[in-house]
């Protein structure tokens, strides 16, 4: 337990949606964005991203992203 509290929390958001084109990041419908969740570290965010991306592999316009929230919250201490 003490080891967990000593580990620095680096929040990551995983979300996705259908894009209008394959060449730009412009979502077709913002109301239909899939917010997968917020994760405490990159490894767990990457696992969630990979699972969602594999589930939607048949739709070329569907894309999932990982946002490094810890960089937005504290840009000086990346």
Q: Parse the chain into domains and list their residue ranges.
A: 12-71
Residue keyed to tokens 């000593």? 6
Q: What is the pLDDT of residue 1?
A: 47
This prediction's pTM: 0.83
Positions in the chain short of pLDDT 70: 1-6, 78
Q: Which CATH number fits domain 12-71: 3.40.190.10, 3.30.70.2400, 3.40.50.2300, 3.30.390.50?
A: 3.30.70.2400
* Contacts with 7 (C-beta within 8 Å, 6 or more apart), sequence order: none
The counts of H helices and E strands in the chain are: 3, 3
Q: How far is CA 47 from its chain centroid?
A: 10
Element spanning 65, H or E: strand 62-68
Residues in the chain: 78
């Amino acid at each position: 337990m003490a080891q967990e509290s000593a580990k620095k929390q680096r929040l990551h958001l995983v979300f996705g949606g259908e894009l209008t084109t394959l060449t730009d990041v412009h979502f077709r419908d913002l109301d239909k964005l899939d917010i997968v969740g917020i994760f405490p570290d990159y490894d767990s965010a990457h696992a969630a991203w990979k699972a969602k991306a594999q589930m939607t592999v048949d739709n070329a316009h569907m894309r999932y992203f990982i946002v490094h929230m810890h960089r937005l919250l504290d840009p000086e201490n990346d």
